[in-house]
């Protein structure tokens, strides 16, 4: 069975690594895994590679969804919809926001027919929301100039 420790703070630490420090296989670990109990992924420490390089959601989303998320977040930042790193308000940069939305449109055109239904819907929804936000911000800026 895996070694368990409990500190005075109430946290319980369970060592489920399959190998000991000398490289030999620990007893009981193979038996736990064969029973259908998946071992918890190792927590990485500083300087060591992680088994999940991009966090726990990487397995749930495709690289395409990550790309769309990255580009849409960039566009929202450029539109001034997302605050800066310190929480400060960032003024809208419409030309760069337009370029980012255009990149998403190019992505939609080039991947047409090769996406799953959920990926296509995600891209269409993101493009719609960004375009509506862009037009609204453009109208506000035009009204301020009058």
pTM: predicted TM-score of the whole model, two decimal places? 0.57
E strand intervals along 1-146: 3-6, 12-15
Whole-Å CA distances, 89 to 10, 58, 92, 126? 42, 30, 9, 22
Instruction: Region of 121 please: left (phi>0), alpha (psi -120 to 50) or beta.
Output: alpha
Tens of pLDDT along 59-116? 456 799 999 999 999 999 999 999 888 888 889 999 999 999 999 999 999 999 999 9
Tens of pLDDT along 116-144? 999 999 999 999 999 999 999 999 999 98
Q: Where are the chain's structural domains?
A: 63-145
Is residue 121 within 8 A of residue 64, CB to CB? The reply is no
* Residue of 112, 92, 88 whose CA lies nearest to 100: 92
């Amino acid at each position: 069975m895996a070694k368990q420790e409990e500190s005075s703070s109430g946290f319980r630490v369970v060592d489920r690594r399959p190998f000991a420090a000398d490289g030999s296989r620990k007893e009981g670990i193979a038996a736990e895994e064969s029973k259908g109990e998946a071992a918890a992924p190792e927590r990485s420490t500083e300087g060591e590679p992680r088994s999940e390089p991009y966090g726990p959601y990487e397995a749930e989303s495709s690289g395409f969804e990550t790309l769309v998320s990255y580009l849409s977040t960039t566009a929202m930042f450029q539109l001034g919809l997302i605050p800066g790193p310190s929480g400060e308000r960032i003024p809208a940069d419409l030309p760069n926001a337009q370029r980012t939305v255009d990149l998403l449109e190019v992505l939609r055109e080039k991947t047409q027919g090769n996406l799953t239904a959920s990926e296509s819907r995600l891209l269409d929804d993101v493009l719609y929301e960004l375009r509506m936000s862009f037009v609204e911000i453009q109208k506000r800026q035009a009204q301020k100039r009058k």
